[in-house]
Amino acid sequence: MERDEMTSRKQEGFRVTKRTAIIDFGNLSPWYGVEATVVISVPFETLFWYQRNAGNTEASISVEAIKRFGDDFLIEWNVLDPDGAPYPATGDGVAAVTDSSLITELMKGWIDAVVQPPENLSGKSNGSGMSEAQLTEELASLSTSPGN
């Protein structure tokens, strides 16, 4: 690559875009038919907050996690209340769903989508010498180390 090509790329800059994914469930799942579009571009600070608090059973932390998910990462979904009205795609809407198992599974699907590298990046170098999967594993172990 010539020096001029490298310079022009630097000057253009790289714009980080918001990535999304659709979370749905297989036909053997009790949640078959649920579909949610979520943001999977998550700052490390937020990801680490969810990892740190994954085992926390305090009600206030659980409510905060649910509301943060709904307000910050849920774009749209097709979940209806018992009367057939849609639950809003907001933190309050997620918190209002009467079946906590659905929300737990939906959030697990979201976390999986966040931490799994996109298929087209899998195994490619990210500049650190590690694959994306290795880097994700390393970051996860760091975030769960004592004192973090």
Q: How many domains does the chain have?
A: 1
Q: 16 and 39 in contact (C-beta within 8 Å)?
A: no
The pLDDT assigned to 72 comes to 94
Whether this prediction's pTM lies above 0.75 is answered by no
Domain annotation covers residue 136: no
Domain annotation covers residue 63: yes
Domain annotation covers residue 30: yes
Give the CA radius of gyration of the chain. 19
Domain annotation covers residue 55: yes
The alpha carbon of 90 is separated from its chain's Cα centroid by a whole number of angstroms, namely: 15
pLDDT in tens, 8-57: 566 678 888 889 999 999 999 999 999 999 999 989 898 888 888 888 88
Q: Identify the CA nearest to 69 among candidates 39, 98, 41.
A: 39
pLDDT in tens, 90-117: 999 999 998 999 999 999 999 889 888 5
Structural domain of 97 = 14-116
Q: Identify the CA nearest to 79 among candidates 106, 118, 46.
A: 106
